[in-house]
Amino acid sequence: MKAAVTAHPHYVVSEIDPRLYGSFIEHLGRAVYTGIYEPGHPTADANGMRQDVIDLVRELNVPIVRYPGGNFVSAYNWEDGIGPKEQRPVRLDLAWHTSESNEVGLHEFADWCTCANTEMMLAVNLGSRGLDEARNLLEYANHPGGSKWSDKRIANGRKEPFDVKLWCLGNEMDGPWQIGHKTADEYGRLAHETAKAMRAFSKSLELVVCGSSNAKMPTYPEWEATVLDHTYNEVDYISLHMYFDNEANDAPNYLAMSEKLDAYIVSVAGVIDYIKAKKRSNKQVYISFDEWNVWYHSKEQDKKILGGSDGWPFAPPLLEDIYNFEDVLQVGLILNTFIRRSDVVKIACLAQLVNVIAPIMTVPNGPAWRQTIFYPYLFASNYGRGNALDLKVESPTYRSVAGDVAYVDVAGVHDRQTGHVTFFAVNRHSSEAIETVVDLSGFGAAEIVDHQVMAHADLKAVNSAENPGNVSPRKGEGAAVAGGKLNLSLPAYSYQFIRLRL
């Protein structure tokens, strides 16, 4: 089989916002406790944060981290997480049926972000609470001093403001499972007024309004139209969420699901354009895809805790999917989709970062290790920055639940500052290698500076604390540039990262 790709520096989708490679930490399971925070751990710093985890997050080069939820935020009192730790209350978390100690709150998380070289994306509670609590949190976080809440921050040991730029107006408010679930009109009205109040504090804030929790919601896409009708001129982004599963154990259809992701993005982009036209607005609202990942491996084992039959445990293992090689391909496909839609999707958050459906896993008082999906995220985050190229791809196809799907999926990025072009490629074919030629004639001379391949004989192969390198990249072989063309072979069911210096 053969495929052909044409790349040209003049054919560009958009400049990629680095926040396309963001992530997410929620007070859920072991994401915080024994995830990022474990005071007794051998690598713990003075704040109790695991240095081994910080090192892996730095390796991923994560630009933003959404916090503190997720479903958790919709019944969260942010004031519980400030002040002396010994005075903080233990709360029952209704979202995940667990206990929350509040040992980690805004100050601790902000310090962790500084150590991890990332920035905070804060969510406010518009479920059980509302406008007043949101504006108080904003004042606490961002005002220099001389007011009630900023002076409390200073008294709590932080003189300088946190200066948080990016704020989520609630979480998944379309979902009946959400504490404080609202109709689109109810939520849109509340989000409008909250955004208006936050804008009165500072017009430089970036605000994210809740879109659909997934494309199967009965209110989608009318939810987006109604909410944006209320909020369009006050917000900058509308959020989308989507998780992927292979419970049917059908690899070809599983690997076609990124096409449904693409259709989801295109549909919501159309709704944005409709409301923009309806409002006669000159501003542009974009998409913040602030929850996405593969999630299904752990659902059966989580039922006891989530159903309430295990009481209210503190930081139990929840949503601890152990990812396999098949999921490497899926995550690669999702990231490629975001790159190709970077004109509309400006922010995306892999959910989540540590232990909870995450690329990084930890053992309490033990090692931190890389899951299989760590690697496509690593390559995209570090090298998928610059201009997303509008590639022309000719590939054989196959029939799937998403229609005709190309076996070869490719995204390309041109970094003009460093003089590199990078390609991320997935071969969806189960048994055949596909010889692929990339026409680079618009770029001039080029040389390969890095080439990594992920392939494995077993789609279900996983990494573990005992064998963390079972599924990992290997140096690519056989790729060559000649006559303005890149020639490479994509093995069956494989992911490739190839970087060229111009």
| Strand locations in 379-419 (E) | 387-389, 392-394, 397-400, 403-406, 408-415
Bridge partners (DSSP) of residue 499 are 422, 450
CB-based contacts of 32, cutoff 8 Å, min separation 6: 25, 104, 315
Point out the catalytic residue in the list 234, 291, 320, 326.
Answer: 291
Point out the catalytic residue in the list 26, 79, 100, 172.
Answer: 172
Q: Please indicate whether residue 291 is annotated as part of the active site.
A: yes
| C-beta separation of 385 from 415 below 8 A | yes
Structure tokens belonging to residue 137? 């949190």
Per the document, the length of the chain is 502
| C-beta separation of 488 from 479 below 8 A | yes
Helix (H, G, I), strand (E, B) or coil at 483: coil
Residue tagged 């991320």 (tokens):
424
Q: Where are the alpha helices (DSSP H) in 79-122?
A: 106-115
Closest to 258 (Cα-Cα) out of 410, 70, 451, 65:
410
The C-alpha atoms of residue 286 and residue 239 are separated, in whole angstroms, by 9
Q: Please indicate whether residue 224 is annotated as part of the active site.
A: no
Closest to 334 (Cα-Cα) out of 280, 230, 409:
409
Neighbours of 218 (CB within 10 A): 7
- The four Cα atoms 225, 227, 229, 232 give a dihedral, to 10 degrees, of -110
Burial of 342 (0-12, 13-18, 19+ CB in 10 A): buried
CB-based contacts of 283, cutoff 8 Å, min separation 6: 232, 233, 276
Q: Report the amino acid identity of residue 61.
A: N
The C-alpha atoms of residue 29 and residue 286 are separated, in whole angstroms, by 31
Residues with catalytic function: 172, 291
